[in-house]
Structure 1
Amino acid sequence: MKITYIIGNGFDIHFGLKSRYIDFYNWLGKETNKRKYDNNRIAKNIFQYIDEKRHNEMQSVAGTNWESKIDWSDFEEALRALVEHYSHNQDYEDDLEKIINDLDVLSRAMSEYLSIETSNRNKSLDFNAQTIENSLNAPLRKIKSERLSTLNNALQTEFGNHYFKKTSSDLTFINFNYTFLLRDYIENTSEFNIDKINANLQSSKVMINKEILYPNGRFDDTPILGIGSEYDLPENLNITEEQKIILCKDVYASYRSDGRIDKIMKALDESDIIICYGLSIGISDATYISKLLESLMNHQYQTAIVIMYDEDYDKNDVRYQSLMNEKKIKQRLEARYTWRHSEIDEEKKQLLSQTIKNQVIIQFDNGKSADNNSRSFDYFPYESIDNETSENAIKKIKKIESMKIEIN
């Protein structure tokens, strides 16, 4: 049996890493950095876009946290709009060359920023095998009994037709982040015991593939900032291959010629269960979301579990809003596929809708626990050394206070 985890920026944020678009904006806004990148068109575009977003959000929804409404898909949308804007100029080739150079400079700045932030955050985190086993099992444990029965029946049929699948199991990670937090998370764990679906297997042991697949590369080897795909570029844009490599993430991945795209597509196609955590399902994710859905349509035994962040989610309360949020996520998945396949006919569209309905499970995570302790999180619990230090300090204070009482 094969399981694939697709990890997005929500994973890094979950561990306290300041990797949101707004975090990079705030770092760029520091006086020394602002002077350094004062003439950078992309930096200016970032400040202008976010300032306008802040104004519009605060105008439309008073009292809300406008920063939570900004993510990296906003950056890619703004960059697309900037390229589109200059493409209408008579001498846009010169403007495009300047944009590419500015983007390259800002990507190096982003690498510097992530390197600093990751190093600082890693010092405060501690992972162990038990929490990893709990977190990797969490999506399966949260599936409702009737839906879980359907999943097990589909696996039983598939394993009956392909007996070798039940003899061994492995898990592969596809990491859309540029950081090494996921690598560090699984570093000391090579296997775990899977729950809820192990009746179909000869062994509950699942081997963890330590070769993490990075669609967008890592911050130490990749131009981080850019547009998701060359399909997002304006039509009839006169652009060189070298410029595309820096501007478009999928072109850069192909340019590396390291087989990462083929490995990712193969992993999705061969998976029995696909679990997504921390993706925004924005336009930048469309290429791989499209491939995921294509694989589901081709393999009725496959199941995808998509875990989305919802700060208002209450697992003990089935609210109308939660049901509507689930519906919106499924609509967004469908929209990403149809955006990528604009030529889709009605028959294929009906198959797509049916596949999402029957084979995609939506779950929500509010990033909280009843005792407000990171060790008790539903998804990806962890030990915070900062928290542990604080707990020890509180114990020491209480002990000192009790000693004072005894003395008095």
Structure 2
Amino acid sequence: MNITYIVGNGLDLQYGLKTKYKDFYEFQNKAYISRKENEEKYSNLIYESLFSDKENNYENWSDFEYSIGQLTKDHDFISSNIEMKEKFIDDFSEVVDDLREYLRLQQEQNLEEGIVIDFESTLNDLKNSLPVLNQFTIDKKFKENLYQHDIVNILTLNYTNVLDRLYDRSGKSFVNKLRTNDYNFHIKSPIHAHGTVDICTVLGVSDETQISNSFEEEQKESLVKNLVLKNYRENMDVKNSDIIKNSDIIILYGVSLGETDKYIWSQIAERSISSSVPVIIYHYVPNFDPGNPTRVKRLYRNVEDKFIQNSGIDLELEKKLRDNLIVVIGKTIFNLMER
């Protein structure tokens, strides 16, 4: 059976990296001011728009990516001018390089010797971590796939290498205690769906509707994630899709479910609906208080609604997808431990 974890920036934050969007915003704002002071006639269209808003309220990277797409739509002087569109692409490329450099600084932190990921606890607690009402779903899946080992895929949306370094030193195979036979969990190497800081760092929007339709095809290939992946010529888009298409259980952790990854949520939704694949969504709430049932119910519903909305599925399929969604609030996975 194939179990797929799709992890986002929440996992890097859990591991102590300063990779919130606001961390980059504050760092790059100072760098941009310094760059303008030292380079005559220097400007960057994206930074000018971004830093003109001193009370920037973007919470997630997806908000930032979406704002880049909106910038192409909201400013006629960009969308109506060939030279300005080319400058926009050049400026966007500069933003990507600046982000790569910032993330390199973050991932260079020393990992404490002897600290590993406790994959075993996360996987063997997969059932018990769910709301009681949903736990039978895991039993059902294992019964449907009785006589086989369980392959665990990790598809990370992060560019940093901390997960990879921790993976290399951690145990990767152990007995599956959720089964009554002697089959094992086997954890495969993390795959970077959007590249790393060194290889094909993919920043941008989900599809062409999120940018101005005045941009040429070649320009879109710099801004639209699927097009960037396809034109990188390493079949990254195909590999990502194949993992999702072959998953029997899909688990989302540390992701914002934003619009700029809609193409991924859409693939997950299609897989879930076509093959009754459960989609488990871990939702982080700081200082979560489970005592108020009305608040908890609303949280469950809000997370489900956001995933459904940003997956772009047809309305007639909504109920079928919602029945496959399982929301887990205030719990963590892939915790660290001493070896």
Q: Contact 2:10 / 2:253 at 8 angstroms: preserved in 1?
A: yes
| Alignment-derived partner of residue 128 in structure 1 | 116
Extract unaligned runs of 5+ from structure 1. Answer: 55-68, 367-377, 385-408
Cα displacement string for residues 245-285 of structure 1 (whole angstroms, at most 9, x for unaligned residues): 32222211001222222222221121111111011001012
TM-score where L is the length of structure 1 = 0.75
1:206 lines up with 2:182 in the alignment: no
Match of 2:159 among 178, 185, 188: 178
- What's the CA shift for 1:3? 0.5
Structure 1 residues 91 and 145, CA gap change in structure 2 (3 angstroms): closer
Q: Is it true that 1:334 corresponds to 2:308 in the alignment? A: yes
Is 1:299 aligned to 2:275, yes or no? yes
Aligned equivalents of 2:113, 2:82: Cα separation in 1? 47
1:216 is aligned to 2:216: no
Give 1:383 deviation, angstroms. Answer: 4.8
Report what 2:285 is aligned to. Answer: 310
- Which residue does 2:81 correspond to in 1? 92
1:35 is matched with 34
Query: Which of 208, 232, 241 is equivalent to 1:256?
Result: 232
1:382 to 2:317 alignment: no
Per-residue deviation, 1:153? 2.6
> 1:359–1:142: structure 2 CA closer, same or farther, 3 Å change rule?
same
Change (3 A) 1:278 1:89: closer
The two structures have a TM-score, normalised by structure 2, of 0.89
Match of 2:265 among 282, 289, 298: 289
Q: SS state of the match for residue 271, structure 1? A: coil
Structure having the larger proportion of residues in helix: 1
Distance (Å, rounded) in 2 between the aligned partners of 1:312 and 1:154: 32
1:179 is displaced (CA, Å) by 0.7
Shift of 1:147: 2.2
Give the structure 1 partner of residue 175 of structure 2.
193
Does 2:52 correspond to 1:53? no
Secondary structure of the corresponding residue to residue 257 of structure 1: coil
The aligned residue for residue 238 of structure 1 is 215
Instruction: State the identity as a percent.
Output: 23
Measure, in 1, the Cα distance between the counterparts of 2:247 and 2:61: 28
**Cα separation, 2, equivalents of 1:118 and 1:281:** 24
Runs of 4+ deviating beyond 6 Å: none
- The residue identity in structure 1 corresponding to 2:325 is V
Contact 1:45/1:78 (CA < 8 Å) preserved in 2? no
Distance 2:288 2:79 in 1: 51
**RMSD of the alignment, in Å?**
2.4
Compute the displacement of 1:123 (Å): 3.4
Match of 1:355 in 2: 321
Counterpart CA distance in 2 for 1:90 and 1:24 is 27
Partner of 1:372: none
Matched residues in 2 for 1:253 and 1:86: separation?
27
Q: Distance in 1 between matches of 2:136 and 2:301?
A: 22
Q: 1:21 to 1:363 in 2, by over 3 A?
A: same
Question: What is the match of residue 398 of structure 1?
Answer: none
**Structure 1 residues 192 and 47, CA, compared in 2 at 3 Å: closer, same or farther?**
farther
In 2, are the aligned partners of 1:167 and 1:203 still within 8 Å (CA)?
no
Q: Mark the runs of 5 or more structure 2 residues left unpaired by the alignment.
A: 37-41
1:265 is aligned, of 238, 241, 246, to 241
**Cα deviation code 1:92-148 (max 9, x no counterpart):** 22111111111111211111110011102x43475336x232234444321234422
